[in-house]
Amino acid sequence: MAAPLICMTLTGKTLLEDIELARKYESYVDLVELRVDHLNDEDQLLVRNFPSKINLPCILTIRRDVDGGLYSGSELSRTNLFARALAFAENDHGKNFAYVDFEEDYHVPSLQDAAMAFNVKIIRSFHDMNGTVHKLRQKCMEMRKTGFEIMKIAFMPEKLDDVVNLFEEGKKCDFDHIFCAMGPQGLPSRILAALSNSYLTYVSPEETISNMNNIGHLDPITINNVYNFKKITEKTHLFGITGWPLVKTGSPEIHNKGYKNQNLDAVYLPFRTPAVSQAMNTAEKLGVKGMSVTIPHKETVLKYLYEVSPEVQQIGACNTIVRKNNHWYGYNTDAGGFKRAFLEILGNEKIKRKKVAIIGAGGAAKAIAYTIKQLGCKACVFNRTESSAEKLAKKYGFKWATLGQSSEKMLEEYSDIIVQTTSVGMNSTESSNENNDPIYFYNFDGHEILYDVIYVPSLTPVMKRAALAGCKISNGYTMLEYQAYEQYKLFTGKDYESK
Ligand code: NAP
């Protein structure tokens, strides 16, 4: 089977918008899908010339609302639209639609015959927006109308097992097919389309990706530049990150850049799941040899591990798992990553005499408290839930306090270095307030060093405030990078930074 194509779905309101998007991304994709159901009424009547306006083959799709599209008119009017779009076929095939998508229950022989006569390939599709399809191959056989179609099944997986099943079913098919699992859990089916022998994978331009809400498309640049999609084959080594909901993560960029630089046939991708055991099961079935583990799985993963490193034992959280000799081994690279980032921001300052405030007592704080203790600093843990602060602080002989106005004096005492480890401020670009700045009650005077483990946005509200007061600041991207380098070594045996 040939490598899967990249098809960009166009969901603009006007043909002009879609033409501009097709031209903008033409070097990243192999074909486009014109979603007529997203066009305004007037432009729906004018799609016939669309293929001649772009330099890519085009799929004609008029998706009904029941199948996840926007078309709510009658089947008769939909048939009229199909007929208008396919009519007056040109000898130059580039000026016609190259494909048309007919749902499995849409059977109009005259349109089908016309499509075949004009060399327009038929995609015969089935969508389940709410549930899983298990017997994909069998379903394709039942759906086939002509024997020449490309069979497409898109479904919403209930769990990652359903995605593993998709790969297994895809391998069994000896006919052209497109299998995609939608939603956050379905992402591996899109990036690893080569593993299911899928004919293509769908992407959406950044500009209109929100129109495909819930479907789980990547954008054309990310699938190429971050995931190196065209190079993925059955032989590619797989690594990943598991978490939930894991909406944003910078880890794939870091790891995949390393593979590219060092010419390794490997890809790193998200395995989003609310159950870490599902991710581990998937990894075992797909041959994934290592995974980063993030919120909320860093502690729940422990019970599935065969052996853990001394750091994991001490910290009580694991952010890296490696598959060796049919067993899972757990590591914590957050601690090492933070240590390097922390020493970097401190520069030549003598740390032993410094008093450190650790804001938060969650997973990140646990690895950070361990490091701060190792470095011999005095510290105080401040947390919204005081009992968690107490538990963490007692482990290392630190002080603790509730996070809030009442602890202002205590924070002043431990303000040489403030390490912000809560999720407060993540994704916030507004100026500081009670909801986005965990220490809104504290006034910086400029002597503090602030390290915020958050890295999106790159300047959090509390960082902005500290910078204005003249403090030395850093976001958590350095920690993310350095902990990823340690993972990279555990996964591949290679030093990330060596050429
Ligand atoms: P976690 O285990 O869920 O802990 C969350 C922490 O944030 C807890 O201390 C929690 O306090 C506190 N918190 C949450 N909402 C709060 C609110 N509204 N007000 C006050 N405190 C609040 O999460 P985590 O794994 O520690 O991650 C925390 C952050 O660190 C995330 O933004 C994550 O992306 C980031 N992180 C960055 C790196 C990196 O490499 N840069 C590594 C790991 C984590 P309670 O105990 O009271 O709930």
User: Which ligand 1 atom sits nearest the alpha carbon of residue 438?
Assistant: 20
- Look at ligand 1, atom 39, and give the residue with the nearest C-alpha: 480
The active-site residue out of 121, 298, 366, 399 is: 298
Q: What pTM value is reported for the model?
A: 0.95
Contact, 322 vs 331, CB < 8 A? yes
Q: How far is the CA of 471 from the centre of ligand 1 (A)?
A: 23
List, in order, residues 6 or more apart from 165 with CB less than 8 Å away.
134, 136
Q: What share of the chain is helix, strand, coil (3-state, %, to 5)?
A: 40, 20, 40
Ligand 1 centroid, distance to 430 Cα (angstroms)? 19
Q: Is 140 left (phi over 0), alpha (psi -120 to 50) or beta?
A: alpha
Rounded Cα distance between 257 and 322, Å, is 20
Over 12-49, what HEC string results? CCCHHHHHHHHHHCCCCCCEEEEEHHHCCHHHHCCHHH
Instruction: Report the nearest-CA residue for atom 46 of ligand 1.
Output: 385
Reading the chain (499 residues) residue by residue, the pLDDT tens digits are 678 999 999 999 999 999 999 999 999 999 999 999 999 999 999 999 999 999 999 999 999 999 989 999 999 999 999 999 999 888 888 899 999 999 999 999 999 999 998 899 999 999 999 999 999 999 999 998 777 899 999 999 999 999 999 999 999 999 999 999 999 999 999 999 999 999 999 999 999 999 887 789 999 999 999 999 999 999 999 999 999 999 989 999 999 999 999 999 999 999 999 999 999 999 999 999 999 999 999 999 999 999 999 999 999 999 999 999 999 999 999 999 999 999 999 988 888 889 999 999 999 999 999 999 999 999 999 999 999 999 999 999 999 999 999 999 999 999 999 999 999 999 999 999 999 999 999 999 999 999 999 999 999 999 999 999 999 999 999 999 999 999 999 999 999 998 7
Cα–Cα distances (Å) from 165 to 285, 290, 425, 480, 491, in that order, read 10, 21, 39, 33, 25
Q: Is 172 a catalytic residue?
A: no
Supply 3's token pair.
Answer: 């490598």
Q: In whole angstroms, how far apart are CA 492 and each of 255, 263, 487?
A: 10, 12, 8
- Residue 34's beta-bridge partner residues? 10, 60
Rounded Cα distance, 49 and 132, in Å: 37
Pocket of ligand 1, beta carbon within 6 A: 295, 334, 337, 360-365, 383-385, 388, 403, 421-424, 426, 438, 453-455, 476, 479-480, 483
Q: How remote is the CA of residue 429 from the centroid of ligand 1, in Å?
A: 18
SS3 61: strand
DSSP state of 403: S
CA of 363 to the centre of ligand 1 (A): 7
Q: How many CA atoms lie within 13 A of 228 on its CB side?
A: 23
Q: Which atom of ligand 1 is nearest to the CA of 384?
A: 47
Relative orientation angle of helices 75-86 and 109-117, to the nearest 10 degrees: 20
Closest-lying ligand 1 atom to the alpha carbon of residue 294 = 25
